[in-house]
Amino acid sequence: MGIEFLIVNILLVILIVIASLVAVLLRDLLAAAIALAAMSLLLSLEFFLLQAPDVAIAQAGVGACLTTAIVIIAIKGTKRMEEE
């Protein structure tokens, strides 16, 4: 476990937290869903770096694609902008 591994891991965790905060704080729900998909993809990369490729494939398939599809379908059925 070298220093490069540590730097990349810390950078990835910070990016995951930033993407989650963007997903929480955005008023536009469609953009929030895209931010959630980006968070899920970064989490999948983190799983892959921690040598769990099974979990990484499952996270990339279910979390980044299918959950985003379900959320976007729900947004299409209701309203796009969040109200106060």
Q: Which residue matches tokens 């490069």?
A: 4
Least CB distance to other proteins at residue 77 (A) = 4
Cβ(37)–Cβ(64) below 8 Å? yes
Please tell me the chain's helix, strand, coil percentages from 3-state DSSP, rounded to the nearest 5: 80, 0, 15
- Of the candidates 12, 18, 22, 14, which has an alpha carbon nearest to the alpha carbon of residue 48? 12
Interaction of residue 21 with other proteins, rule CB under 8 A:
no
Q: How far is the CB of 56 from other proteins (least distance, A)?
A: 8
**Among the residue ranges 10-18, 20-28, 33-41, 56-64, the one whose residues contact other proteins (CB under 8 A):** 56-64
User: Which spans of this chain sit near other proteins (rule: CB under 8 A)?
Assistant: 1, 53-54, 57-58, 61-62, 65-66, 69-70, 73-74, 76-77
